[in-house]
Structure 1
Amino acid sequence: MKAATLGIAEKGVFGDPAPSSVYDSAQNAKAGAESPLSPIADVDKSPVLGHIAESGATFHELGVSHGLRGVLARHGEQFMVLQVTPDGEAAVAGVQTDLSVLKLRLIAGGQVTDLGSSHGLQGLFVRNGSQFQVLYATPDGERTIPGVMWDAKGVNVTRTQVASIAGAVPTVVVGKDVDGGATPGGVKKAAIDVVAETAFGTLGSASAPRLWVFIDPLCSYSVKAMQALQAFVSKGQVQVAVIPVSLLDYEDQGRSTPAALAMLSKPADLMALAWMRGDLNGPAASESAPKLNANMAAAEAIGLRGTPTLIWRKANGSEGRLDGLPEDWNAVISSMGGENHADFAR
């Protein structure tokens, strides 16, 4: 996602490419025949599609199945299958499965938690050992959709629904050494001061201006941010300080937290490289959990809305911040000026 907890709020529902959905119309197609997809002409009549369209995405019809309109959204080489809710105000990023609500309850029994109805779709939280998944039922209850719901304002509805379930969304445990960004006098710290106290890994020259980046290791837009920054790092224009947090456990079946712990188990100068190479195997170090707690507390202190989130000191001494991917990386880097990060951040 462009911002892990934002998705379409930051002009993108596009994460890792989703598999093609299986719809009744596709099942009735002749073997080996490819039916051209029709572009959607009434985007303006669906608030959620209109919001996504602001990113430059295009849409094609996938047909109506079990009371839901299937839509293929494309942006460049990326695509995502969406199930638009009956009111047009939200969409679930996912594909319909053959599992009905009744079968799901028979299989999972007491491991299913009802999340209530939102935008006409019943939400179901299913726990399987240490893993979990959110599914949405089609209006007729005959199909379920593993996925995340976003509304037309960019709100992650799923995250809100699972927030009260223990372990679904990582919680912050604030200890004596982490004050949530407030000074003894009650004055809130600046974000640039908060990030300096996090556990982070660096990539690039220590003499270059530092760009702090909150990332979820399994957020595809965090990965894209790092890929974009490598060119600036190689030229000595910036040093990137990567701050691992775990925001997507409710979405990736609890895999973000172990990945963040694995990153924080690495030495600071190897943390970013290990993440970029996918080298996040092995047991977490005992000190990694307190470090993740501290990073989550820092995220809460600055009002983190999603990943990636960028924090930097501008050339004029003011603070720069951007939630999500910038439209112009050059503008961000040039605004940092030439000052060494140590002049301000330490």
Structure 2
Amino acid sequence: MLLAGCLLSAPAFANTGIDETWPEPIRHLALQGLQVQDSFPVGDSLIGWIVRAGQQEQLLYTTQDGEFLINGVVLDAQGQDLTRQHQRDYLAQPDWSALASSHKITEPSLLTNEAGETISQRELYLFFDPLCPFSRLAWLALQPYREQGLTLHWIPIAYLQPDSRLQAAALLASADQAADQLHQLMREPSTQLELDAAGIQAQAAALQDNMGLMRAFGLSGTPSWIWQDEQGQLNTHTGMLRLPRISELLDLPQPSVLEPELIRYR
């Protein structure tokens, strides 16, 4: 259960190709453009579906009677995460390079050497919805680490509220001003970024790509964190982290000055 984050709802798709033997929930999504690639049994109760939305694959499940669709994590009787295992077994796994080519907003390190050149000691990627309050808390917690050499990459998605799409599209459309716009929005959550309907539509594919990438990593809400450890192993977490854990994963000292809103995460 996600206790400190904003959960994803069911996805929206766009493609064709329908088999009448598929259960009704899968046929319904296929009418919206979902590409169904394969299926497999999950015990006696469920069927797993390997599906594609745009360039990204993901897993869905239906009950054997075809009445219900599950878009989320499936656990067995012992509490083991079957979905994560199925992702490893059936889906092509995204890697660090997929994040580097995502549609993102980068906040560079503020650490410099004697020549005034920027020094980046760590990188961190976060999927966020601009209107997710937990994404804002993550932003507040991470800002002081930029002075210690942290480079932040924010990958916007839009699902939480009707205005999420406008705000996320406006951030991506603002190009060189995106980091400043993000700063303004996170400091003043009531900020309304400006973008017309044509501008929103122009960013639709980028936002869909970001959502597909997030699902490909098996992440289910915002903020979702992705980082590499000292061995180069990719790690993920969904939801707001406690402050000591942030310091630990970054391998950087915890800031001495604390935003009042973050006190409960000490």
What is the TM-score of this pair, normalised by structure 1?
0.43
Secondary structure class of the residue paired with 1:310: strand
Q: 1:242 aligns with which of 154, 171, 183?
A: 154
1:235 & 1:12 partners in 2: Cα distance? Answer: 26
**Which residue type is aligned with residue 259 of structure 1?**
Q
Of Structure 1 and Structure 2, the greater helix share is in 2
- How much has 1:305 moved relative to structure 2? 0.7
Secondary structure class of the residue paired with 1:10: coil
**Which residue type is aligned with residue 266 of structure 1?**
S
1:227 & 1:179 partners in 2: Cα distance? Answer: 31
**Which residue type is aligned with residue 332 of structure 1?**
L
**Which residue type is aligned with residue 2 of structure 2?**
E
The count of aligned residue pairs is 168
1:193 & 1:187 partners in 2: Cα distance? Answer: 17
Secondary structure class of the residue paired with 2:222: coil
- How much has 1:228 moved relative to structure 2? 0.7
Q: 1:326 aligns with which of 241, 246, 258?
A: 241
The answer to whether the 8 Å contact 1:308/1:325 transfers is yes
Q: Identify the residue that residue 198 of structure 1 maps to in structure 2.
A: 102
Q: Identify the residue that residue 48 of structure 1 maps to in structure 2.
A: none
Deviations 1:204-245 (CA, angstroms, capped at 9, x unpaired)? 236422100000000011011011110001232x10000000
Q: Identify the residue that residue 93 of structure 1 maps to in structure 2.
A: none
Deviations 1:123-179 (CA, angstroms, capped at 9, x unpaired)? xxxxxxxxxxxxxxxxxxxxxxxxxxxxxxxxx6x946x99899xxxx99944xx34
Secondary structure class of the residue paired with 1:241: strand
The answer to whether the 8 Å contact 1:223/1:276 transfers is no
Secondary structure class of the residue paired with 2:251: helix
Q: Relative contact order: is structure 1 or structure 2 higher (C-alpha 8 Å, sep ≥ 6)?
A: 2
Give the RMSD, CA atoms, in angstroms: 3.3
Q: Identify the residue that residue 62 of structure 1 maps to in structure 2.
A: none
Q: 2:163 aligns with which of 225, 230, 255?
A: 255
2:91 & 2:9 partners in 1: Cα distance? Answer: 30
Structure 2 stretches of 5 or more lacking a match?
14-24, 36-51, 59-89, 110-117, 186-190, 253-266
Pair 1:11 & 2:18 matched: no
How is 1:1-346 mapped onto 2 (pairs within 5 angstroms)? 9-12=1-4, 159=9, 174-175=53-54, 178-180=55-57, 188-205=92-109, 207-208=119-120, 209-236=122-149, 238-248=150-160, 252=161, 254-267=162-175, 269-278=176-185, 280-283=193-196, 284=199, 287-327=202-242, 328=244, 329-334=246-251
Q: Matched residues, percent identical? A: 24
**Which residue type is aligned with residue 216 of structure 1?**
D
Q: Which has the larger radius of gyration?
A: 1
The answer to whether the 8 Å contact 1:174/1:180 transfers is yes
- How much has 1:304 moved relative to structure 2? 1.8
Secondary structure class of the residue paired with 1:195: helix
- How much has 1:299 moved relative to structure 2? 1.4
Structure 1 stretches of 5 or more lacking a match?
1-8, 16-155, 336-346
1:234 & 1:259 partners in 2: Cα distance? Answer: 27
What is the TM-score of this pair, normalised by structure 2?
0.54
Distance 1:220 1:187, change over 3 A: closer
1:321 & 1:243 partners in 2: Cα distance? Answer: 14
